[in-house]
Chains A and B, each alone.
Chain A
């Protein structure tokens, strides 16, 4: 879907959110979140209160981009899984459907094996939702339906107001 915007609708968002919560519980993780490859946070669940998820999302995407660059240099298509091990917390990062990034943060209450297993299952499900979303966006369904697009009647004044 190169060149088109990522659009999220209520229906898919709920499905994604539910799947992330399921993964959080099944993998015994602390935080699970989903980022698009450009660094935009799509959804997050778990102990996110004291976590700067926006910055984490951007750095995750940077991380994946840098690793992707390395892959290219080696003639690999991509490195689909990254794992960072810390003293207390660990981060498991995986690419889903070449478009979105699934991040799982976990500590000693879980294990890499369990996380990998559960991520694999969730990835299939999430991949399905995103291809569904893609079709919806491409067919133009939902976008701006009933004239509720936030952009349809935007004026210069609206934009000026943003800057107070």
Chain B
């Protein structure tokens, strides 16, 4: 649910990074924060526990520049990945314009990935969204680790609809901006569709 302000000529969109615990959602945001020009970003806010596990959400506002004279801002959020924080995850999905699912490529996390993507579908449905209809990107993270699931298998399990997907190593930034760019594009195109439709 974007916010279009004709008075100040601004567009604000909300993107949520979803995925199982420790898959690298916060790391994605940290890398984007590190690599973005100070003028175009706000503070990275992390509501985390003392052991740096996300408790409620991370938040990073990004001002990307102008589209047709409108300042375009993306508000990036992560959810807490741990299973028992489900109530918080639901709240953060409210008003979402686009979702990035960050998968953990390690073999032992495959079950957690599948559980999390199913949880995403259910929580979106509770808000009245259909995962197949919202702008959605899948990122296969941690591709640098030795014990990863082959890409084909990941795709088959997590992306049967063949939506745009990316391999990533969030710790060194590989694939992070490709993912962000792709979801931003989908979100803006969705806005365009919505405007034309209305």
A residues lining the B interface (CB < 8 Å): 2-10, 12-14, 36-40, 42, 52, 54-55, 58-59, 62, 65-66, 68-69, 140, 142-144, 149-154, 156, 158-164
Closest to B180 in A: A163
Number of A-B contacts (CB under 8 A): 136
Q: List residues of chain B with CB within 8 A of the CB of A55.
A: 42-43, 45, 59, 61
How many angstroms between the C-alpha atoms of A140 and B70 in the bound complex? 20
23 A-B pairs within 8 Å (CB atoms) are namely A2-B128, A7-B5, A10-B7, A12-B7, A38-B14, A38-B94, A40-B3, A40-B75, A42-B5, A58-B75, A59-B45, A62-B56, A62-B92, A69-B87, A150-B68, A150-B69, A151-B192, A152-B192, A154-B67, A154-B192, A160-B181, A162-B67, A162-B72
B6 within 8 A of A: yes
How many angstroms between the C-alpha atoms of A164 and B35 in the bound complex? 13
How many angstroms between the C-alpha atoms of A3 and B124 in the bound complex? 12
A76 → B minimal CB distance (Å): 15
Name the 5 nearest CB pairs between A and B, nearest first. A38-B95, A13-B7, A65-B91, A40-B3, A151-B192
Q: List residues of chain B with CB within 8 A of the CB of A7.
A: 3-6
Q: List residues of chain A with CB within 8 A of the CB of B2.
A: 5-6
A50 → B minimal CB distance (Å): 13
Closest to B193 in A: A151
B22 within 8 A of A: no
Q: List residues of chain B with CB within 8 A of the CB of A38.
A: 1, 3, 14, 94-95
- Given contact pairs A150-B68, A150-B70, A42 touches B3 in the complex (Cβ within 8 A): yes
- Given contact pairs A151-B195, A154-B188, A163 touches B177 in the complex (Cβ within 8 A): yes
Contacting pair B64 A162 (CB below 8 A)? yes
Knowing that A142-B6, A151-B195 touch, tell me 7 more A-B residue pairs with CB under 8 angstroms.
A9-B6, A40-B3, A40-B75, A66-B88, A66-B91, A152-B196, A153-B68
A70 → B minimal CB distance (Å): 9
Q: List residues of chain B with CB within 8 A of the CB of A152.
A: 192, 195-196
Q: List residues of chain A with CB within 8 A of the CB of B196.
A: 151-152
- Given contact pairs A62-B56, A65-B91, A162-B65, A8 touches B45 in the complex (Cβ within 8 A): no
* Residues 1 to 46 of chain B near chain A (Cβ within 8 Å): 1-9, 11-12, 14, 42-43, 45
B132 → A minimal CB distance (Å): 16
B69 → A minimal CB distance (Å): 7
Question: Which residue of A40, A42, A142 has the most chain B CB atoms within 10 A of its CB atom?
Answer: A40
B26 → A minimal CB distance (Å): 15
A38 → B minimal CB distance (Å): 3
How many angstroms between the C-alpha atoms of A55 and B60 in the bound complex? 8
B112 within 8 A of A: no
A43 → B minimal CB distance (Å): 9
